[in-house]
Amino acid sequence: MGRTFELLNEQTAQSSVSKFLPPLADFRAGFVKRTTTESRLPYAEFVGDLNKSESDAREYRLIRLPNGLVAMVIHDAVESKACAALDVNVGSLADPPALQGLAHFCEHLLFL
């Protein structure tokens, strides 16, 4: 099981995390501490350049929550609906031997 996680970590380190970020983006650097306006909750915001098309009118922000979750927030002024997407960057190769199918099961829990 340990070897699987080592291989996944090597693959993550070698590949770009997102097409919006520079290659090999470092989620430990480039963030500035901020707090939410009303509830004063802490978070960190990425202050580096995000790669996007010049014709893309949407506004992008990359934030890191206190629990370590990194989220991309996209604002589209002409869209009337909201949506969300999630990429956990792990899957069935990380399932413990005693719990095969755990990643797939957790995927279904997202839609309850």
Q: Which of 10, 59, 79, 107 is catalytic?
A: 107
Give the Cα separation of 18 and 21 in Å (integer).
5
DSSP-derived 3-state class of residue 61: strand
Tell me, yes or no, if 10 is annotated catalytic.
no
- Give the rounded distance of the alpha carbon of 103 from its chain centre: 17
Structure-block tokens of residue 37 = 């306006």
Q: In what order do the strands lie in the sheet with 70-75?
A: 31-35, 42-46, 59-64, 70-75
Q: Which residues are known to be catalytic?
A: 107
